[in-house]
Amino acid sequence: MIVAIFITISLFSAVSLTIFIGVTARSKNQAAIIEVSARQRTLAERYVKEVLLVRAGEPADPARTASVLARSARALLNGGVAPPMWGDDDATELKPATGSELRAQFAQEGRLVTDLTATGAGVVSGFTSNTLANSAHEHIIGATPLDQLQILGALTSNVSLNATRTLGADSDRNISHLVTLQVVLGIVGLLISLLLAGALIAITRRQTAHFRSLVTASTDLVLVFGAGECRYVSKSVATTLGRPADEMLGQGLIRFVHPDDQALVEAAWQQSESAGEIVFRMSTKFKEWRHLEACVTDLRKDRYVRGVVLNARDITERVQLEEELTHQAFHDSLTGLANRALFRDRLNQSLARSARSSEPLSVLLFDLDGFKLVNDTFGHDAGDEVLRQVGQLFVEVTRPSDTLARLGGDEFAILLEGADSTQAVAVADRLLEKLSEPVKILDRNFALSTSIGLVIHPGGPGEGEVIIRHADVALYAAKDAGRNCHRVFEADMARELRDVLGFEQDLRLGLGRGEFSVHYQPEVDLTTHATVGVEALLRWYSPTRGEVPPAQFIPFAEASSLIHLLGEFVLGEACRQTAEWRRQRILPDPFVMWVNISGKQLSDGGVSKLVQKALLAADLPPSFLGLEVTETAIVNQGVVSERASAELQELHDRGVRIAIDDFGTGFSSIGHLRRFPVDLIKVDRSFVQGVGHNPKDTAITTSLTNLAHALGLRAIAEGIESAEQLVSVQELGCDLAQGYLFARPVSADAMSKVLADDSAHAEPAAVPA
Amino acid sequence: MTERDFHISAPAEVSTGNLSLHVKNQGPDSHEFIIVRVNGKLPLRADGLTVNEEALQSDNVGTLEPGEPGTVRDLRLHLTPGTYQFFCNMAGHYMAGMHGSLVVQ
């Protein structure tokens, strides 16, 4: 737009100047014509005088004057050089006359000059006739040659004067036109320039308003600093901080910057080079800190800004989110306590300090005794609430400088920096004391306790992993000591633990190497003496330990969750074997393969799926399978596990038989039995062995058998080793029996043979000799 | 009426009463137009080149100042019967032939 204005002004100026130059050049020519034309008058008059002088005998040279007159007349009409008048001026260069009127006048002048000089020549030569050449259409009649000469002189002079006037009038018109044209050009040029300037101003205003809107409406915060103070803050700054812009201009702004960030902000606007990005905090009207991330641009050399510009964004929410995420990454969402990662980090830092200062530190590792029961019985919501509440109780025991963490599940840990054994034991005692009172959750009182393992690090170098492992050993020792107590780690414990870990390792390896097998012990119907089922029994032959009885390795398996793998193995093998016998058509009818399910398997859940998967894999109808569960597995601390009950119920509904193993040893309530899907009760061998000679055992076995019958169940006596015991339990009314008297647990192949023989003879199997 | 160098064309006779003269100058010189009610020779000034207008002041019935070539000028007259003479009195023009007479009846 500025270029357009410049071009317009230049164009109009050029046109005006060109016209002016043209007119000036023309005027210059006209001035020369006027000068020569005016001189013609003088020459005509001089010529007449010179003729008269010659006629009077005086010296004169009219012919010369006549020549100049004639040449000048031609030059005036057709252009050329008008000769100089002697002693007067120089020759004058003329352009051809323009304009019909002027050309007619000069042509007439030429003719009159011809007539004049002809007449003059006649007079000089003594010619007396009055008949003259009248090339100019003059009709002079009755005059003397002298009179004619004077008349022609006057006519010549007159026509020259007229030509001069015509030229003058023409010049006047030209000047008038020039002035008019210049005025018009000036006005038009000015108007166009004004229009363009107006458009330029409008565009500039619009652009300015546009950018102002962008700045003021933008959520970005714009601050401009110059000469050591704040010169401009955008509307968004005032909106974000809830402060009027006036308060922040000048030196005022720095007052609202966080004291820790003031040096950063001042450095940003004072240093000579761009500072890139900075993050600083400013307080709002409500005394809240907003985090601003600003891009600093040095525009002090920009003549339109002359300052340092901060383009800032409010990143408070982002910062808060980051802090929250960081907190979440290092804290337990349920209790708000530190998590395992943070605990490890604090422990490592603390150990690093201890290595330098030799200050002691202690670690307490503890979990809640019986917490699993709460979860299983009242659901996970109740369990979570217990964890929250006890977490708060633990907080009350610790100092702010201690790190209390929930490592997972119901496992907690406390790091006590600078604490020796006395202080650590005191904290452990307070923990136990805190949990001595029942915890009330959902209107129920929960009696909780904890087992605590302590590790006292005396100071100096140490490894966090080792300390935690030692704490775990101490915790194991506390549990082993009967729970609700604490134990300080000692080196002996580690050795014991290594034994435990070694056993577990052998178990794990043995499973992988196929060291486990399933043996089968028949169960006999005491009425028909027929084999009506077998109990699948797990056997482990370790190349290093030899034959290991289940009573030895099952507790380790249960402690390490290997029990799930073993359980799956036994179930899968038993189902597969039964299906094979079934295909071989050597199974008696009825027949049930009884498989033991451990308490841990039941409490951990998933038994129903596992059983169905095994049946499906072996293509075995559910009625061929029975599960033996111990009384204590389904009834724990007087409460039936709802989940276990539901799973067993589901399997029972599908046709799977359920037996209560070791019945009579668990102090269970008869009421629980009624709500439980049970088909068979196995009277524990400890009672059966006393039957016949121990009145109490006999009475108990009688009662249990009667109880089973009263509930519509069948009873089987375990551990029958003698004919006397067999007779006794028969007399007591037991339905089935199992024991060495009939058969020892045998391998699958041996059992196949027994079943095949029984099937061939169709006689009761394993009839006592 | 038409003026040109050096002649004036005009009708010889016109009717009495109001007369509107359209005088056209066909140049190339500028020319006057003067009409006087004089029957006979017009007196000349001492220069011998122009008519003595001052002596004819009482007989003057109309005058047009010098007109540029190409112009037409109007002259309204009320002429009574008689003889009138008209001429251009620029220097030498009368003597060069720019004159004539008009009879009003």
pLDDT tens track for A202-257 = 988 888 888 777 777 777 888 888 877 888 888 888 888 888 888 888 877 788 89
Residues contacting A225, CB < 8 A, separation 6+ = A231, A269, A307, A308, A309, A310
| Distance of residue A203 Cα from the nearest chain B Cα, in angstroms | 57
Copy the structure tokens of residue A494.
């580690």
A524 within 8 A of A532, measured Cβ to Cβ: yes
Q: Which tens digits make up the pLDDT trace of A726-743?
A: 998 998 899 999 999 989
3-state secondary structure of A148: helix
By Cβ distance, the residue of A107, A154, A165 closest to B92 is A154
Going by the DSSP 8-state scheme, the letter that residue A337 receives in this structure is S
**Residues listed for chain A:** 769
DSSP character for A231?
E
Give the model's pLDDT for residue A161. 87
Q: Is A154 helix (H, G, I), strand (E, B) or coil?
A: helix
Residue-wise pLDDT for A662-681, tens only, equals 776 654 556 666 667 889 98
Distance between CA atoms of residues A381 and A158, nearest Å:
134
Q: Chain B residues with CB inside 8 Å of A138's CB?
A: 5-6, 96-97
Contacts of A387 (CB under 8 A, 6+ apart): A334, A335, A371, A406, A410
Is pLDDT at B25 greater than 80 in this prediction? yes
Q: Does A767 score more than 70 pLDDT?
A: no
Identify from A100, A109, A138, A146 which residue to disrupt to test chain B contact, counting B C-beta atoms within 10 A and taking the largest count. A138
Say if residues A451 and A483 touch (Cβ distance below 8 Å): yes
Residues in B touching A150 (Cβ below 8 Å): 48-49, 92
In a mutational test of the B interface, the residue from A162, A165, A167, A172 whose CB has the highest number of chain B CBs within 10 Å is A162
Give the separation between CA A681 and CA A660, rounded to whole angstroms: 5
Size of interface A-B (CB pairs under 8 A): 71
Q: Are A305 and A282 spatial neighbours (Cβ–Cβ below 8 Å)?
A: no
Identity (one letter) of the amino acid at A406? R
pLDDT value at A376 more than 80: no
Sheet with B31-36, side-by-side order of all strands: B13-14, B99-104, B82-87, B31-36, B60-67
pLDDT category of residue A131 using cuts at 50, 70 and 90 = low
A108, A151, A152 member nearest B5 (Cβ)? A108
Which one is predicted more confidently, A627 or A296? A627
pLDDT-wise least confident of A468-472, A604-608, A638-642: A638-642
* A531-542/A546-548 β-pairing: antiparallel
> Chain B interface residues facing chain A, Cβ-Cβ under 8 Å?
4-7, 27-30, 48-49, 68-70, 90-93, 95-97
CB contact (8 A) between residue A138 and residue B6: yes
CA atoms within 13 A on the CB side of A75: 25
Segment A594-615 shows an average pLDDT of 89
- State the pLDDT confidence band at A637, using cuts at 50, 70 and 90: very low
CA atoms in the 13 A half-sphere facing the CB of A43 = 32
Task: Please identify which residue in the block is written with the tokens 């503890």.
Answer: A366
Q: How confident is the model at residue A325 (pLDDT cuts 50, 70, 90)?
A: confident
Tell me: pLDDT of A766 over 60. no
CA-based R_g, chain A, Å: 65
CA A219 to chain CA mean position, Å: 19
pLDDT on residue A768: 37
Q: What is the DSSP string of A655-671?
A: T-EEEEEEETSS---HH
In this complex, which of A137, A143, A153 lies closest to B6 when CB atoms are compared? A137
Share of chain A above pLDDT 90, in %: 30
Set of chain A residues whose Cβ sits within 8 Å of the Cβ of B70? 101
DSSP β-bridge partners for residue B74: B22
| Alpha-carbon gap, residue A36 to A56, rounded angstroms | 29
Q: Alpha helix (H) ranges present in chain B? A: none
Three-state secondary-structure class, residue A317: helix
> Is the pLDDT reported for residue A88 higher than 70?
no
Residues 6+ apart with CB under 8 A from A404: A337, A338, A391, A394, A395, A398, A412, A413, A414
The answer to whether the CB atoms of B70 and A140 lie below 8 A apart is no
Query: Residues of A with CB below 8 A from B68's CB?
Result: 101, 166, 169
Q: Is the pLDDT of residue A35 over 70?
A: yes
Measured between CA atoms, the residue of chain A closest to residue B5 is: A137
**What pLDDT, on the 0 to 100 scale, is given for residue A638?**
43
- Say yes or no for a CB contact (<8 Å) between A139 and B97: yes
Q: Tokens for A76? A: 């005036």
What would the pLDDT profile of A557-581 be if each residue is shown by its tens digit? 877 778 889 999 999 999 999 999 9
Six-digit token string for A352: 């690093």
- Put simply, the answer to whether B95 touches A107 (Cβ < 8 Å) is no
- DSSP characters for A250-282? BTTGGGGB-TTTHHHHHHHHHSSS--EEEEEEE
pLDDT at A571: 95
Please state, rounded to an integer, the average pLDDT across all residues of chain A. Answer: 85
Contact call for B27 and A107, based on CB within 8 A: no
Pick the more confident residue, A545 or A768: A545
Across the interface, which of B48, B69, B93 has its CB nearest the CB of A147?
B48
Task: Determine, for residues A108 and B28 on separate chains, whether the beta-carbon distance falls below 8 Å.
Answer: yes
Q: Grade residue A343 by pLDDT with cuts at 50, 70 and 90.
A: very high
In SS3 terms, A91-127 reads as CEEECCCCCHHHHHHHHHHHHHHHHHHHHHHHHHCCC
Across the interface, do A152 and B92 touch by the CB < 8 Å criterion?
Answer: yes
Nearest CA in chain B to A140: B96
Query: Per-residue confidence at A764, pLDDT binned at 50, 70, 90?
Result: very low
**Percentage with pLDDT > 70 across chain A:** 93
Residue A128 confidence (pLDDT): 60
Q: What is the CA radius of gyration of chain B?
A: 13
Q: What token pair was written down for A248?
A: 């922040």
Distance from CA of A159 to the nearest CA of B (A): 6
Residue A288 is classified by DSSP as P
| Confidence (pLDDT) at A272 | 52
Amino acid A87: pLDDT: 64
Which among A139, A141, A158 has CB closest to B90?
A158
Distance from CA of B18 to the nearest CA of A (A): 32
**A137 contact residues in B (CB cutoff 8 A):** 4-7, 97
* Confidence at residue A516, expressed as pLDDT on a 0 to 100 scale: 94
pLDDT in tens, A705-729: 888 888 888 999 998 988 888 998 9
pLDDT at A180: 87
Q: What is the pLDDT, as a whole number, of residue A520?
A: 95
Evaluate whether ipTM surpasses 0.85. yes
Contact B91 A155 (CB under 8 A): yes
Please say whether the beta carbons of A185 and A16 come within 8 A. yes
| Facing residue for B5 by CB, picked from A137, A140, A143 | A137
Which range (A125-134, A465-474, A537-546, B73-82) has the least confidence? Answer: A125-134
Burial class (CB in 10 A: 0-12, 13-18, 19+), B12: exposed
A635-636 and A592-597 beta bridge pairing = unpaired
Cβ pair A486, A477 in contact under 8 A: no
* Among the listed residues A365, A360, A433, the one whose alpha carbon sits nearest the alpha carbon of residue A397: A433
B28 to A139: CB separation less than 8 angstroms, yes or no: no
CB nearest to B48's CB, from A108, A138, A150: A150
Mean pLDDT of all residues in A60-65: 90
Question: Across the interface, do A165 and B30 touch by the CB < 8 Å criterion?
Answer: yes
Provide CB contacts within 8 A for A439, sequence distance 6+: A386, A389, A390, A393, A445, A446, A448
B29, B48, B96: residue with CB nearest A139: B96
Q: How many CB atoms lie within 10 A of CB A645?
A: 17
What is the C-alpha separation between B44 and B53, in angstroms, rounded? Answer: 8
Phi-psi region of A127 (alpha: psi -120 to 50; beta: other; left: phi over 0): beta
| A464 within 8 A of A344, measured Cβ to Cβ | yes
Confidence grade of residue A641 (pLDDT, cut at 50, 70, 90): low
Q: Is the per-residue pLDDT at A702 higher than 50?
A: yes
* Residue A59 CA, distance from chain mean position: 121
- With tokens 């007196």, the residue in question is B43
**pLDDT of residue A190 exceeding 70:** yes
pLDDT greater than 60 at residue A585: yes
Q: Which residues of A touch B (CB under 8 A)?
A: 101, 104-105, 107-108, 136-141, 143, 147, 150-155, 157-159, 162, 165-166, 169
Q: Do B97 and A140 touch (CB under 8 A)?
A: yes
Of B29, B90, B92, Cβ closest to residue A108: B29
What are the DSSP calls for A586-654, one per residue? Answer: ---SS-EEEEEE-HHHHHH--HHHHHHHHHHHHT--GGGEEEEEEHHHHEETTEE-HHHHHHHHHHHHH
Q: Is the dihedral of CA A556, A559, A562, A565 positive or negative?
A: positive
Cβ separation of B97 and A152 shorter than 8 Å? no
Q: How far is B25 from chain A (nearest CA, A)?
A: 12
What is the C-alpha to C-alpha distance for residues A714 and A657, in angstroms, rounded to an integer? 12
What residues have CB less than 8 Å from A700, skipping those under 6 apart? Answer: A664, A687
Buried b / exposed e over A673-704, threshold 16 CB at 10 Å, is beebebbbbbbbbebbbbbbeeeebbebbbeb
Q: Which helix (DSSP H) or strand (DSSP E) does residue A47 occupy?
A: helix A2-55
Please give the residue of chain A at the shortest CA–CA distance from B68. Answer: A166
Q: Given the structure tokens 């799926």, which residue do they identify?
A: A609
* Residue environment code for A342-371, b if the CB has 16+ CB neighbours within 10 A, otherwise e: bbbebbeebbeebeeeebbbbbbbbbbbbb
**Residue A131, min C-alpha distance to chain B (Å):** 13
Residue A326: its H or E element: helix A316-330
Q: Which has the minimum average pLDDT: A24-33, A351-360, A649-658?
A: A24-33
Cα A527 to Cα A194: distance, rounded to the nearest angstrom: 127
- Whether residues B92 and A147 touch (CB distance < 8 A) is answered with no
Read off the tokens for A691.
Answer: 């039957």
Phi-psi region of A724 (alpha: psi -120 to 50; beta: other; left: phi over 0): alpha
B64 vs A10, residue with greater confidence: B64
Shortest distance, CA A104 to any CA of chain B (angstroms)? 5
Q: What is the pTM of this model?
A: 0.42
- What average pLDDT is seen over chain B? 92
Residue A89 has pLDDT above 70, yes or no: no
What is the full DSSP assignment across A492-537?
HHHHHHHHHHHHHHHHHHHHHHT-EEEEEEEEEETTT--EEEEEEE
Of B28, B95, B96, the CB nearest to A107: B28
Tell me if A136 and B6 make a contact (CB, 8 A cut-off). yes
Residue-by-residue DSSP string for A295-309 = EEEEETT-TTT-EEE
